[in-house]
Amino acid sequence: MQYRTQRFLALGDRVSVDCGFFWHVGIVSGYSIYGQPLVISASKRRGIVVEESLDEFSGGGPVRHEGFKRDLPRRVVVAQMRTMIGQPWHLFRNCEHVASAAEGRQPTSPQLAGWFFAGLLVFAATRRSA
């Protein structure tokens, strides 16, 4: 996966931005009247699922274009994302859960699972040394 400019983004594409300890994920939902890509995501910053410009979504940082790898039509993925706008964000219903659900998959968050597993390993290691 590479960083690409916005001209390569198509309706329904998955995009992400590096937020340090995690990647924030969204789905390209269209374009503004000014030609700026729009992205729908479960935004922790805003506390809900929102549609915002690519610049707002990324905080001005580089965007990773993950492409479109689903069997569902692109418009269906976007329509499913739109039904979630306004719903609350929480840890167990984060940006990855929302995007994967819209893409027709089981709502999952590999990043959350990874952090949970890492926490278990740290907990187990500290219990052994105590």
**Successive 10-residue mean pLDDT values, the chain, 130 residues:** 60 93 91 94 93 94 90 94 93 85 80 47 53
Indicate the CATH number of 2-129 among 3.60.20.10, 3.90.1720.10, 3.20.20.30, 3.30.70.100: 3.90.1720.10
pLDDT, residue 83, reads 96
Contact 38, 52 (CB under 8 A): yes
Return d(Cα 74, Cα 29) in angstroms, integer. 9
pLDDT, residue 47, reads 92
pLDDT, residue 90, reads 80
The two structure tokens encoding residue 110:
């590999």
pTM: 0.79
Contact 25, 16 (CB under 8 A): yes
pLDDT, residue 111, reads 59
pLDDT, residue 70, reads 82
